[in-house]
Structure 1
Amino acid sequence: MDLGLGNASAVVVGGGRGMGLAAAHCFADDGARVAVVGRNREALDGAAAQLRERGSPDAFGVVADTVDEAQVREAFSVLSDRWDGQLNILVNAVGPSVRGTFDELGDEDWRRAIDEGAMGMVHCVRAALPLLRAAEWARIVNFSAHSTQRQSAILPAYTAAKAMVTSVSKNLSLSLAPDEILVNVVSPGSIASEALVGWADSVGVDGSDPYALMEAIDEHFGHPAHLPRAGLPSEIGPVVAFLASRRNSYMTGANINVDGGSDFT
């Protein structure tokens, strides 16, 4: 399907790897101008090279730690100069790195989870809004998580940060509706990300096998999907790309579960 992204400008925060990169791939495949933002220059350069090969000839990476609002402002200043002060698509795919049970987490862990998982998104939306408002059309897609609906004992701080992302996104869908800027959320389930594959390997499971990975999730967490395997980052990208595209013209304020089937509503 032609998503109408030819010559659109799209930035994926956290687009150097994983699900963010999978979304960036879809934008490049449809002819968009794509930038990826993150902390790791090597990952960003590798991602930009892939995007150029896939159809975004001017793809580039911008280094910024989204926890630092000054760095975010500088990154979006670079984007503004590159794209004449306009931006069509903002995707926030960064998640917190904090893990641990409630008893294990201290105040600094909670602050870091909120900073990494939610305030970084706030910083990026704040910096991007003038560019989004200046564009002919604009979309925001934020990554939440299915753990906000199906809890895990080792993810209370992570889940709290993602719940904040969901709530702020819902509010933005309302407050930005007069500007016709559509705001939606994607909530991935058990996706074979680097973190999940690394966890599986640490417990003696072949994380590269999505069927074995889902069996391990069932055994350790009791959270199997209806489908008998974990998802792949490449299965998230097309969902994000549709929500961020001109083809999505009337969906806003939605939280889309991409989880292989689950028992929550």
Structure 2
Amino acid sequence: MDLGISGRIAVVTGGDSGMGFKTAEYLLHEDVKVVLTDIDEAKVQAAAKELAALGDVRAVAADLSSGEGIAVLKAFADKAFGGAPTILVNAAGITGSTGDFLDLTDEDWLQTIQTDLLAAVRTARAFIPGMREAGWGRVVLFSSEDAVQPYVEEMPYCVAKAGIANLAKNLSKAYGPDGVLVNAVAPAFIATPMTDAQMDKKAEEKGISFDEAVRQTLDDERPGIVAKRRGEPREVAAMVAFLCSEQASFITGAFIRVDGGSVMGVGS
């Protein structure tokens, strides 16, 4: 399928690994020029080097939890390929602070919200003006199954990801008339460095193997995942690339679950 986005310029945050990296790979296959960013300079440059055989890709390290980091990314992205990006994929995120609600401090909440919610606010605010000027844009924000299916040990993350879903809907209403389409994807239990770290921690705490930690998580916390496995980054990236395309020209304000059936209800 021709996605009709050859020559477009995309910014992909959280791009040094996992779903962000795989999304960049898919976009490069579509002849999209990609600006890749993440917080670790060495890792994001290594990711760009790995992807370079597929097309035009540039990398810059930026801390998106601050306005200064957004300014670095914006200045770099606008110059990288000689034009303003018209595709934004915000895949950057952290698990953040976890534990009993009564034990979590304001600082615990703010750390998670700065990266998982406000970074998306900042990147959208930085790049949507260029899309409006071009009369065409695609924004895909990474939410999560946690936005609609609570996990009480991960409340700051759940709340931030619920905010992402609402942000995408609001942005779609605000800028759809200008040709800017905004959607959110909601993955569940994908095989990424983030869930690897969670499984490593669980395995260590319980004295079990990594694979057993995955199996226990599927049985105890993700019983709705009918395939009984973690998802693959490519399975999310394929949806993201589609939402960035001309083929998705009548989709905006959507909250699209790529969760293997993890969310048990039908209303979200």
The two structures have a TM-score, normalised by structure 2, of 0.91
Q: Which residue is equivalent to 1:11?
A: 11
Change (3 A) 1:59 1:99: same
Shift of 1:171: 0.2
CA deviations on 1:161-193 (whole Å, 9 max, x unpaired) are 111111111100000011010000000011111
Select 1:86's aligned residue among 84, 87, 98.
Answer: 84
Change (3 A) 1:2 1:222: closer
Q: Which moved more, 1:131-140 or 1:110-119?
A: 131-140
Q: Which residue is equivalent to 2:154?
A: 155
Change (3 A) 1:111 1:203: closer
Please give the secondary structure, in 2, of the residue aligned with 1:176: helix
CA distance in 1: counterparts of 2:129 and 2:79, whole angstroms: 13
Residue 250 of structure 1 pairs with residue 261 of structure 2: no
Change (3 A) 1:103 1:72: same
Q: Which residue is equivalent to 2:170?
A: 171
The AA in structure 1 aligned to 2:176 is A
Shift of 1:195: 2.0
Change (3 A) 1:136 1:82: farther
Shift of 1:223: 4.0
Change (3 A) 1:106 1:220: farther
Shift of 1:219: 4.0
CA deviations on 1:191-246 (whole Å, 9 max, x unpaired) are 11112122223333554x6xx56522134425441222110112111000000111
Q: Which residue is equivalent to 2:191?
A: 192
Of all paired residues, the percent bearing the same amino acid is 32
Structure 2 unaligned spans of 5+: none
Shift of 1:40: 0.6
The AA in structure 1 aligned to 2:85 is L
The AA in structure 2 aligned to 1:65 is D
Q: Which residue is equivalent to 2:94?
A: 96
The AA in structure 1 aligned to 2:188 is G
Q: Which moved more, 1:245-254 or 1:221-230?
A: 221-230
Change (3 A) 1:135 1:233: same
Q: Which residue is equivalent to 1:59?
A: 57
The AA in structure 2 aligned to 1:144 is S
CA distance in 1: counterparts of 2:197 and 2:44, whole angstroms: 21
The AA in structure 2 aligned to 1:199 is Q
Change (3 A) 1:120 1:82: same
Shift of 1:16: 1.1
Change (3 A) 1:51 1:134: farther
Structure 1 unaligned spans of 5+: none
Q: Which residue is equivalent to 1:41?
A: 41
Does the CA contact (< 8 Å) of 1:144 and 1:186 recur in 2?
yes
Shift of 1:77: 1.6
Shift of 1:82: 2.6
The AA in structure 2 aligned to 1:47 is A
Does the CA contact (< 8 Å) of 1:87 and 1:135 recur in 2?
no
Residue 123 of structure 1 pairs with residue 127 of structure 2: no
Q: RMSD between aligned alpha carbons? A: 1.7
CA distance in 1: counterparts of 2:193 and 2:69, whole angstroms: 25
CA distance in 2: counterparts of 1:149 and 1:159, whole angstroms: 8
Q: Which moved more, 1:86-95 or 1:198-207?
A: 198-207
Q: How many residues align?
A: 260
Please give the secondary structure, in 2, of the residue aligned with 1:52: helix
The AA in structure 1 aligned to 2:84 is Q
The AA in structure 1 aligned to 2:33 is R
Change (3 A) 1:214 1:203: closer
CA deviations on 1:30-50 (whole Å, 9 max, x unpaired) are 111011111111111111112
CA distance in 1: counterparts of 2:196 and 2:80, whole angstroms: 36
**Relative to total residues, which structure has the larger helix share, 1 or 2?**
2
The two structures have a TM-score, normalised by structure 1, of 0.92
Please give the secondary structure, in 1, of the residue aligned with 2:50: helix
